[in-house]
Structure 1
């Protein structure tokens, strides 16, 4: 299994964790665009972070992480659904990107937005400035400033694998004393701070946890699979055209020499609509298959 997330629980304290490893799905994302190495690494780390966050939530819908800046990388955006389907994209200026560039160099004045969009219920959105030196630090800051459960992240990506490690302090059940809870939390996070990129990217979850916590009572749950999937479709593209209204859609058709082309930025899938398709759409015939009038 190359793409998975595994939860683990400390039986004697109120802390849980998640480990995520992305191989094939990360490869699918990188294959869609010729990302420079530093951009591909940031995108991989954000993909791992989205999978970790989605693993901590009980919801049916979509989690979106979006980072915007005024620098060489103006946009990173990844999504992870409650079905553990991931996709991601980055926008960048290759002329401004140097090998080994840091997060601050690539994304100055950056802002991270976390959006939870359930199929039912209220949409939630939180925003935090990118004040950390890594995406992991910025996500940790987000939890600290949004008054949520204390949560720490460790993230790495190398163009082949994207991996992440998360610890989250749970509400007091096993240990009620605040000082004792803080001591336990600091002990577990301090041990996790010893993780190297090579260990996170190269060790299996069981070996990694044994290296960190062989003196703790840790219960490792079964892995859950992750995969790349894009939610674009011809029907969604047709709905976007329909929302323009018939006059604007026909004007767009004329501007584009008789064929409206909608490209998915995530997977590069192309959807084409000619005059017959537009007429069918606004006659109530739906998006259907591409018309047969093309030569």
Structure 2
């Protein structure tokens, strides 16, 4: 932490994103540690452990990216693939709300997870990951798409920033399971996740130049485009790459101490944390509005059945409504 900051400044603790800056390296970023909020989301769904681990990575990445929003909007990470986990959806609703859900084939997940060389990203298969920023009804939406073909969510994030933002970026994500033995002899299972994202943001944009992406159809023998990277970014990225998974998931290592461990020789400033919450945005009002947008045929079928039951995939809340009341003019 910055030497000028008060020594008694409280640490961010769990479930918080901490922005930071390493001015000597023209680097800025964010680090996050997730505990109770992550457990609340995952335990509600009771997914298989491999799905939980993959979804936890997606939640961590979304927290890092979503906490950068400067407006009352929403950032959504969504994957659609042909793998055992066909879909992940994580919403960050500014300023602090997280919610998540997944769709998967249980038997295919178990079969793949039993393989000796299994890694969570194998569950995704081939498809794409989209980052969507919704700034409200009066603003246009922005969407960036990354092709998924056996790459990890870390690698997909790097690809996104290279193609969509042209900002040199390094991301590290880690998820861990913890078993705690209680006094009565029972074991309590907890999930923890952590992540760090660093970006190179010098005053001169010329220093941020990156090699052109290979077009895939260049004539045989064409030399790849190469640009010598800035020394400051090489150092910052190398330092982030030294982070171990256990450091990101260790409940005894606060985010600020991890940042100091990484960048103390260059000096690092940690700013006010953004506290995360497990918060769904579903409501009866939104359900009613959605139902009123259905076709006349769908409305007629629901009126015949009398009752409408809608379940939220994110929080599990079930809304039981009277069809005639919903569609009454």
For the superposition of Structure 1 and Structure 2, which TM-score range results when normalised by the shorter chain?
A: 0.7 to 0.9
8 Å contact from structure 2 (residues 17, 273) kept in 1: yes
State the distance in 1 between where 2:168 and 2:52 align. Answer: 28
Q: Are 1:273 and 2:310 an aligned pair?
A: no
1:151 corresponds in structure 2 to: 169
TM-score (norm 2): 0.78
Q: Are 1:172 and 2:189 an aligned pair?
A: no
Q: Are 1:139 and 2:151 an aligned pair?
A: no
State the distance in 2 between where 1:175 and 1:148 align. Answer: 12
Alignment of 1:203-242 (within 5 A): 203-242=253-292
Which secondary structure does the structure 2 equivalent of 1:56 belong to?
Answer: coil
State the distance in 2 between where 1:41 and 1:65 align. Answer: 16
1:55 corresponds in structure 2 to: 67
1:252 corresponds in structure 2 to: 302
1:290 corresponds in structure 2 to: none
State the distance in 2 between where 1:12 and 1:194 align. Answer: 19
8 Å contact from structure 1 (residues 12, 174) kept in 2: no
1:282 corresponds in structure 2 to: 327
1:115 corresponds in structure 2 to: 132
2:57 corresponds in structure 1 to: 45
8 Å contact from structure 1 (residues 246, 282) kept in 2: no
1:198 corresponds in structure 2 to: 246
Which secondary structure does the structure 1 equivalent of 2:313 belong to?
Answer: coil
How many pairs were matched up? 279
Q: CA deviation at 1:111?
A: 0.9
Q: CA deviation at 1:2?
A: 2.5
Q: Describe the shift of the 1:132–1:182 C-alpha distance in structure 2 as closer, same or farther (beyond 3 A).
A: farther
Q: CA deviation at 1:57?
A: 3.3
User: Structure 1 regions of 5+ residues with no counterpart?
Assistant: 285-295
RMSD: 2.3
State the distance in 1 between where 2:270 and 2:205 align. Answer: 18
Which secondary structure does the structure 2 equivalent of 1:86 belong to?
Answer: strand
State the distance in 2 between where 1:125 and 1:207 align. Answer: 35
TM-score (norm 1): 0.87
Q: Are 1:161 and 2:173 an aligned pair?
A: no
8 Å contact from structure 1 (residues 103, 135) kept in 2: no
Q: Describe the shift of the 1:272–1:192 C-alpha distance in structure 2 as closer, same or farther (beyond 3 A).
A: same
Which secondary structure does the structure 2 equivalent of 1:230 belong to?
Answer: coil
User: Structure 2 regions of 5+ residues with no counterpart?
Assistant: 1-12, 178-190, 210-226
State the distance in 2 between where 1:261 and 1:58 align. Answer: 36
| Of 99-108 and 36-45, the range deviating more from structure 2 | 99-108
Q: Are 1:18 and 2:30 an aligned pair?
A: yes
| Of 84-93 and 174-183, the range deviating more from structure 2 | 174-183
